Amino acid sequence: MNTESVNESSDRAAPRVPRGACERVGGLGGFGSPPMNTDAHFMRRALALAEQARGLTSPNPLVGAVVVSGGEIVGEGFHRAVGQPHAEVEALEVAGVKSRGGTLYVTLEPCMHHGRTPPCVPRVLAAGIARVVVAVSDANPLVAGGGIAALRAAGVEVTEGVMAEEARRQNRAFLHAMRAGRPHVTLKGAITLDGKIADVHGTSRWITGREARERAHRLRAECDAIVVGVETVRRDDPELTVRLDRPWPREPYRVVLDSRARMPVSARLLRVGTPARVLVAVAADAPAPSIAALEARGATVVRCPGPTGRIDPRRLLDELHRREVRAVLVEGGAEVHAAFLDAALVDRVAVFVAPALLGGRGAPSLVGGSGRTLKDRVALDDFEVTRLGPDVLLEADVAGSRH
């Protein structure tokens, strides 16, 4: 899929399509769309439906579904939020009796297990669907392949892999978290053209302009946890909240790597949002009184000691995984970026680049630590470039990281 079109549709993060809205096939498509009446065409529509709930479904994936009968869309649906009906069920409800003998297009394999809602496969069978087209199988070990097998066993024709790459990208974080057993990690930062994240005085506000900062808030809205180092808290005193032009119903965890519990109790982090969703990760020898003071302010203190006396990023991710975090945004600073990269725990980067130069040997760059040799550099794949006012957003996957 054209990634820009995904970005554009994610502009509309709040669902806009009224429940059960139907469109005639002839009204869809446009430049660059697959030809009408093909599997790819209907799957593209299902992907666009799913996209409307971006940032709202976690820990569940984004899923869209379309029911087609006689070459015409007779039902559409998407998963809107946890606890809400699954996409297939929504689409089948709209289609009603028109589902009988029809084709169901769904971006992710239908589920067979009892989760927060009943399984979808029996519902698909009861509706009399003759054919199911699936973009990707669900990596969730509770589902993986079982839904497709159950449909086939019941005599339903199943086609897999239609627009699979687009569907995998759409649920990058969810699929990764299911496969790897840990959240998907995006390293995010704002740099000058010479790679600096702050000037020689440690000042970083603001490196980029309004459009870039707005996009950064959208990245926050789409993640489940924002992670920073204690030096960033001490220096910038950030809120780490999602600030968009409309209220946002979900609040990512705000996480601080703070081995010795040095975070000031007066930090702004603890004065906005839900303090209990501020997780302060401490190591073994954090002083008990400092921990008690943070807890008294409502913060949740978690212990993630590593061998160097600092936070073990892997243990922190395990802790977040237990809390059903799928997507993590590591927002700096330089040392924390280095810690995640050195532990090979970065899957993607999102770097805003401003057309400016700062210089200064002492000014931090995007990644601190002891650095790497050219031979051991972290290679990036699948570059995407987006212009945002005067700035540029570069996004890429870390080579070898699966999504």
Active site residues: 88
Question: Applying CB under 6 A, does 64 fall inside the site for ligand NAP?
Answer: no
Residue 326 near residue 217, CB atoms below 8 Å = no
304 to 260, 292, 308, 310: CA distances (angstroms): 11, 17, 12, 8
Residue 189 Rama label (left phi>0; alpha psi -120 to 50; beta)? beta
Question: Binds 86, which of ligand NAP, Zn ion, none (CB < 5 to 8 A, cut-off by type)?
Answer: Zn ion
Residue 164 near residue 41, CB atoms below 8 Å = no
Binding flags for ligand NAP, 325-364, as an x/- string (CB under 6 A): ------xxxxxx--x------------------------x
Cβ count near 158 (within 10 Å): 17
User: Counting every residue, how long is the chain?
Assistant: 403
The secondary structure of residue 59, as a DSSP letter, is T
Q: Which of residues 83-102 bind ligand NAP (CB under 6 A)?
A: none
Residue showing tokens 């839904």: 147
Q: Which of residues 298-317 bind ligand NAP (CB under 6 A)?
A: 306, 310-311
Nearest approach, Cβ of 272 to ligand NAP (angstroms)? 18
The residues, any chain, with a CB within 8 Å of residue 9's CB and separated by 6 or more, are 48, 51, 52
CA angle 182, 117, 223 (to 5 degrees): 35
Q: Which of residues 172-231 bind ligand NAP (CB under 6 A)?
A: 189-190, 197-198, 202, 204, 207, 228-231
Nearest approach, Cβ of 75 to ligand NAP (angstroms)? 44
Q: Which of residues 258-277 bind ligand NAP (CB under 6 A)?
A: 258-260, 262
Question: Binds 91, which of ligand NAP, Zn ion, none (CB < 5 to 8 A, cut-off by type)?
Answer: none
- Please identify, using beta-carbon distances, which residue of 92 and 111 lies nearer to Zn ion: 111
- Please identify, using beta-carbon distances, which residue of 95 and 349 lies nearer to ligand NAP: 349
Nearest approach, Cβ of 185 to ligand NAP (angstroms)? 14
CA dihedral 236→242→246→247, nearest 10 degrees, is -120
Q: Using CB under 5 A, list all residues that contact Zn ion.
A: 86, 111, 120
**Would you tell me which residues interact with ligand NAP (CB under 6 A)?**
189-190, 197-198, 202, 204, 207, 228-232, 235-236, 257-260, 262, 306, 310-311, 331-336, 339, 364, 368
